[in-house]
Amino acid sequence: MTAFEIEPGRLFVGGQWREAADGARTEVVDPSRGRVVTTVAEAGPADVDAAVRAAREAFDSGRWSGLSGRERGRILHRVAELIRENADELAHLESLDVGKPITLCHAVDVTNAANDYEHYAALAFALDGSTRDTPLNALAYTKREPLGVVAAITPFNFPLILAGSKLAPALAAGNTVVHKPADETPLSALYMAGLLQRAGVPDGVVNVVTGTGPVAGEALLRHAGVDKIAFTGSTAVGRHAASVAGENLKPVTMELGGNAAHIVFEDADLEKAVGAVIKGFVFNTGQFCMGGPRLLVARPVYSTLLNILADAVPGVPLGDPRLPETVVGPMAGEKHLHKVEEYVDLARKEGARIVCGGERLDLDGGYYYKPTVIADLANDSRVIQEEIFGPVLTVQPFDTEDEAVELANSTPYGLASGVQTGNLARAHRIADRLQAGIVWVNDWAMLDPNVPFGGVKDSGFGREYGPEGLAAYTRTKSVVVSLD
147: CB partners within 8 A, 6+ apart: 173, 175, 227, 228, 251, 473, 474, 475
Q: Which of 42, 118, 218, 464 is catalytic?
A: 464
| DSSP string of 41-55, one letter each residue | E---HHHHHHHHHHH
Predicted local distance difference test score (pLDDT) of residue 5? 64
* Chain segment 171-195, per-residue pLDDT in tens: 999 999 999 999 999 999 999 999 9
Q: How confident is the model at residue 362 (pLDDT cuts 50, 70, 90)?
A: very high
Q: Is the pLDDT of residue 11 over 90?
A: yes
Q: By percentage, how much of the chain surpasses pLDDT 70?
A: 99
Q: What is the mean pLDDT of residues 200-227?
A: 98
Query: Please, are residues 261 and 470 in contact by the beta-carbon 8 Å criterion?
Result: no
Instruction: Identify whether the C-beta of residue 154 lies closer than 8 Å to the C-beta of residue 161.
Output: no
Which residues 6+ apart lie within 8 Å of 382 measured at CB?
343, 346
Catalytic, 255? Answer yes
Q: What is the DSSP string of 211-253?
A: --IIIIIHHHHH-TT--EEEEES-HHHHHHHHHHHHHTT--EE
Which CATH architecture fits 261-448? Answer: 3-Layer(aba) Sandwich (3.40)
CA distance 257 to 440: 18
Question: How many residues would you count in the chain?
Answer: 484
User: Please, which residues bridge with residue 207 across strands?
Assistant: 178
| Dihedral (CA of 14, 211, 367, 373) sign | negative
Distance CA 152, CA 166 (A): 7
What span, in angstroms and rounded, lies between the C-alpha atoms of 243 and 5? 41
| Backbone angles phi and psi of 114, in degrees to 5 | -65, -40
CA-CA distances (angstroms) from residue 14 to 7, 152, 385? 21, 16, 44
Average pLDDT value over all residues in the chain: 97
Residue 290 has pLDDT above 50, yes or no: yes
Mean pLDDT of 439-452: 97
- pLDDT of residue 126 exceeding 90, the answer is no
Question: Of these residues, 105, 118, 289, 387, which one is catalytic?
Answer: 289
- Cα separations in angstroms, 2 against 7, 30, 37, 72, 106: 11, 12, 10, 36, 18
Sheet holding 392-398, edge to edge: 353-356, 372-375, 392-398, 294-298, 261-264, 416-420, 438-441
Catalytic residue, chosen from 94, 105, 118, 166, is 166
Residue 359 annotated as catalytic: no
**For residue 2, is pLDDT > 50?**
no
Q: CB-based contacts of 309: which residues, under 8 Å, 6+ apart?
A: 274, 277, 278, 355, 356, 373, 393, 395
**3 pLDDT higher than 70:** no
CB 265 within 8 A of CB 298: yes
Domain 11-256+459-480 homologous superfamily, CATH: Aldehyde Dehydrogenase; Chain A, domain 1 (3.40.605.10)
Q: What is the pLDDT of residue 6?
A: 83
Active site residue 401: no
> First CA to last CA across the chain, in angstroms?
70
Burial of 379 (0-12, 13-18, 19+ CB in 10 A): middle
Mean pLDDT of 322-326: 96
Q: pLDDT tens across 131-182, in order?
A: 999 999 999 999 999 999 999 999 999 999 999 999 999 999 999 999 999 9
Does the pLDDT value for residue 432 go beyond 60? yes
Q: What share of the chain is helix, strand, coil (3-state, %, to 5)?
A: 40, 20, 35
- Please state the separation of Cα 371 from the chain's center in Å: 21
Q: Is residue 220 within 8 Å of 180, Cβ to Cβ?
A: yes
Instruction: Assess whether pLDDT exceeds 60 at residue 203.
Output: yes
CB 331 within 8 A of CB 99: yes
Count of other CB atoms within 10 angstroms of residue 9: 22
pTM listed for this prediction: 0.96
1 has a pLDDT exceeding 60: no
What whole-number distance in Å separates Cα of residue 56 and Cα of residue 225?
Answer: 7
d(CA 106, CA 381): 37
Active site residue 289: yes
What are the residue ranges spanned by the domains of the chain? 11-256+459-480, 261-448
Catalytic residue among 94, 118, 255, 387: 255
How far is the C-alpha of 355 from the C-alpha of 308, rounded, in Å? 11
The DSSP element (H or E) to which 185 belongs, if any, is none
